[in-house]
Amino acid sequence: MALQSTLEALVATLPKRQKDIITQRFGIGGKSRTLAYLGDKYGITRERVRQIETAALKVLLKSSYEFSDLEHLLQRALDHITSLGGVRHESYLVDDMKFVLEDQQITLPFLTLFFSIFKKPLYAPETADMYAFWYVTPAALKENKQFVTKVAQFLKNKKEALIERQEFDTLFSQVTTQHHMQEFMALNFLLNSKKFSVNPFGDFGLIEWPEIMPKTVRDKSYLILKKRHAPMHFRDIAQEINNIKFDAKKAHPQTVHNELIKDNRFVLVGRGLYSLKEFGIEPGTTRELLQKILKKNGPMPLDNIVQLVGEHRVLKHNTIFLNLQNKKFFKKNPEGHYHVA
């Protein structure tokens, strides 16, 4: 039995006003209309529209008994949702039902009508924290919300504000084991929440984290340098931001450069080249970096100095050598080792 064509036949048997209101309330063949809109259209109150809708659904339920397969299809739908933990995101459920109910033509309006006729599964409308989804029992709804809260708190308690792709499986196994839950059910629960997301690099975390949903040029630049883990020219950073397309905003090289200069998370390591301070990169001029290295390690030959500088900066050999020739700041002992003046 094709569910959608059966529902179309059922709706066609309704009296005209009931048929019109059901069609428009569920958005069949057009936009879903509110009680207020239909009340104004027909010159009746919103409550009267609701009463007509309720009466029409009762008629459809009674008529559905003529099609014994409808209850069988409903049970298949309920069994599927139950197997996923008792809940399912509205959008994903439509795709699921095309296969579970063996009807590739089924659409959200007709699926919503189908469930509304039988008053199950139940519907959770979209909120600020959750997407719209269907649930089999109030207990499943409660479990979904509690699990989302626990995972969000678990992430907030972590020291790192980013769960890289390779860490995700380990993390998720840890969380689901702790809560005695199968991983595919836990993932299904998280899909209903707006608290989590994945960035373009496949890293998972809270949507409030700038590493997951970077909005500013600084945050986008930070994420790119963090993932690259190597110095980049500000022009290349701007190009990478535009290639990834975090959003519709285009990054301009000069804007990127200006933002990097203002933020102490970034360190200039060469001509136009930036890295992150958290990588252990020392800030300051070439002279200041040389002074820090020599104060820490004592007199050193040029080759050793160049090697240590290379761990922090991308500088040419001649640049380092010329800085060391400044006798106001550096001296050379009889062994040919440089030290701070």
Structural class in CATH, domain 3-134? mainly alpha
What crossing angle do the helices spanning 108-118 and 46-64 adopt, rounded to 10°?
80
pLDDT at 339: 94
Distance CA 289, CA 98 (A): 64
Give yes or no on whether 3-134 and 217-279 have one common fold. Answer: yes
Give the residue extent of every domain in the chain.
3-134, 141-206, 217-279, 286-340
Residues 176-208 as b or e (16 or more Cβ within 10 Å = b): beebebeeebbebbbbbbebbeebeeebbbbee
pLDDT at 168: 67
CATH code of domain 217-279: 1.10.10.10
Alpha helices in the chain (DSSP H): 3-12, 16-25, 35-42, 46-64, 68-83, 90-100, 108-118, 138-157, 165-178, 183-191, 217-228, 234-244, 253-262, 286-297, 302-309, 317-324
Residues 278-289 as b or e (16 or more Cβ within 10 Å = b): eeebeeeebeeb
Tens of pLDDT along the chain (341 residues) come to 689 999 999 999 999 999 999 999 999 988 999 999 999 999 999 999 999 999 999 999 999 988 878 999 999 999 999 999 999 999 999 999 999 998 899 999 999 999 999 999 999 999 999 999 999 999 999 999 999 998 888 888 875 655 666 666 666 677 677 767 787 888 899 999 999 998 998 888 899 999 999 999 999 999 999 999 888 999 999 999 999 999 999 999 999 999 999 999 999 887 898 999 888 877 677 888 889 889 999 999 999 998 888 777 767 788 888 889 999 999 999 999 999 99
Which pTM was predicted? 0.75
